[in-house]
Amino acid sequence: MRDLTQPHDVRDLLAAVLEALEIPHPATLGDSEQHARVLADRVMHTVIALRSTLDGNPLGIEWTVAYLRERLAEHPPTGYRHYGTPRTEATQ
C-alpha cells in the first residue's frame, strides 16, 4: 500500500472525488430527477473509494483511484439537459 502522505497520491484521489461530484447542474426542474440519480450513483462509488482508502485498502490508493474512475465512466453525467460543463484540469 502506498503512503497517503505522498502529495501526488492525495491529489489524484481528490481529483477523482471532484470529478465524481462536480457534474453539470440540470437545466430545468424536469431534468433534476435524472441529475439526482446520476449524482447518487457517483456519490455511492465515491464513498466506497474513500472508505476503502481510510480503512487501509491493501490494494493501494492508485488502485482505488482507478476503481473510482472506472465506476464514474459507468455513470456519466448524461441523460438530462444541463448548463455548461464541469471544470477540468485543462480549463483551470
Prediction pTM value: 0.78
Residues 6+ apart with CB under 8 A from 24: 77, 82, 83, 84, 85, 86
Cell of 54: 481510510
Convert the pLDDT of each residue in 2-55 to its tens digit: 455 567 888 999 999 999 999 999 999 989 999 999 999 999 999 999 999 999
Helix (H, G, I), strand (E, B) or coil at 11: helix
